[in-house]
């Protein structure tokens, strides 16, 4: 009697074990799936920061293109609002040092950005630009090259030397041995362009992208690459930002194909 009973108990134990194995496997599989599922949304949330109101300090030469870029970014990131504050890069640097509430910074040169290393995250160049000679409508003085700007009959306006475009202007004029006595030195490139547009100056050195926005108000005279300077635009988050993740996402977006298409469509060169 005991032997058959033992055999029946052993068989029952084997059958029970056989039934429990697949159930355990199903339970484990469900657990893994649940973990992956919970990790999925979490990872997605970290990749897509929460909506925020961002303030971006940007060089004045980015005024038009960044308005377009900002609208595109807001459309792709519902709930996020991007507000730009445009000025000469040196003015923006002063604002950062004074603790102005902002989240990101884009300057028209690396020198200004490098001077703020303690205030910013890692900077990345997002675009490049070149200079042209902007002359009055119809180019009445027939200006064709940098050397023509040395003519004292021509009223030339330049940006101040502490402004990136002013520094680039001095660089290329000195390189060609051209001496220019400007009738005024302006705080940013838009002010230089405005003087020429209004007829208050006969010529000025501006970025190619700025002259392109003037239509027939000015004539842009190209400067050969060998005589020109390349302006680089670095972008970085600000350590004082109250929205660090959203700021980092915007700065990273500026290097994406979508943003680059907008920048290059406005005449900026690929970084």
* pLDDT at residue 43, as a whole number: 36
pLDDT digit string (tens) for 235-252?
999 999 999 999 999 999
Query: Residue 188, Cβ neighbours under 10 Å: how many?
Result: 26
pLDDT for 15 beyond 50: no
* pLDDT at residue 6, as a whole number: 45
pLDDT for 119 beyond 80: yes
Considering the four listed CATH numbers 3.40.190.10, 3.40.630.30, 3.40.50.12160, 3.30.450.90, the one that applies to the domain covering 129-230 is: 3.40.190.10
Q: Quick one: CATH architecture of 53-128+232-270?
A: 3-Layer(aba) Sandwich (3.40)
| 53 sits in which H/E element | strand 53-59
* pLDDT at residue 10, as a whole number: 44
Q: In 3D, which of 33, 51, 72 has the Cα closest to residue 247?
A: 51
* pLDDT at residue 47, as a whole number: 56
* pLDDT at residue 48, as a whole number: 64
Q: Where are the domains of the chain?
A: 53-128+232-270, 129-230
| 39 sits in which H/E element | helix 2-47
Rounded to whole angstroms, the Cα distance separating 205 from 192 reads 8
**Rounded mean pLDDT of 60-85?**
97
For the whole model, what pTM was predicted? 0.80
pLDDT for 32 beyond 90: no
The residue to which tokens 């595109």 are assigned? 72
pLDDT for 206 beyond 50: yes
Rounded to whole angstroms, the Cα distance separating 246 from 249 reads 5
Position 35 confidence tier, pLDDT thresholds 50, 70, 90? very low
More confident residue, 100 or 47: 100
Percent of the chain at pLDDT exceeding 90 = 79
């Amino acid at each position: 009697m005991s032997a058959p009973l033992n055999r029946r108990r052993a068989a029952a134990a084997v059958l029970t074990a056989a039934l429990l194995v697949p159930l355990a496997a199903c339970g484990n599989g469900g657990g893994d799936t649940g973990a992956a599922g919970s990790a999925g949304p979490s990872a997605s949330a970290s990749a897509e920061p929460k909506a925020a109101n961002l303030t971006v300090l940007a060089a004045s030469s980015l005024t038009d293109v960044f308005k377009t870029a900002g609208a595109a970014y807001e459309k792709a990131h519902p709930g996020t609002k991007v507000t730009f504050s445009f000025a000469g890069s040196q003015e923006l640097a002063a604002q950062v040092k004074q603790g102005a509430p902002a989240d990101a910074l884009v300057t028209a040169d690396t020198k200004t950005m490098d001077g703020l290393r303690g205030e910013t995250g890692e900077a990345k160049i997002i675009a490049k630009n070149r200079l042209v000679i902007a002359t009055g409508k119809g180019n009445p003085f027939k200006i064709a090259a940098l050397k023509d700007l040395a003519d004292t009959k021509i009223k030339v306006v330049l940006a101040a030397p502490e402004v990136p475009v002013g520094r680039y202007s001095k660089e290329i004029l000195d390189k060609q041995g051209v001496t220019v006595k400007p009738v005024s030195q302006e705080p940013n490139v838009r002010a230089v362009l405005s003087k020429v547009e209004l007829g208050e100056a006969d010529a000025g050195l501006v970025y190619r992208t700025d002259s392109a926005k003037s239509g027939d108000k000015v004539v842009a005279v190209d400067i050969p690459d060998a005589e020109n300077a390349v302006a680089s635009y670095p972008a970085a988050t600000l350590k004082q930002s109250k929205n660090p993740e959203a700021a980092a996402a915007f700065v990273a977006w500026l290097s994406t194909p979508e943003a680059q298409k907008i920048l290059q469509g406005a005449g900026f060169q690929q970084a």
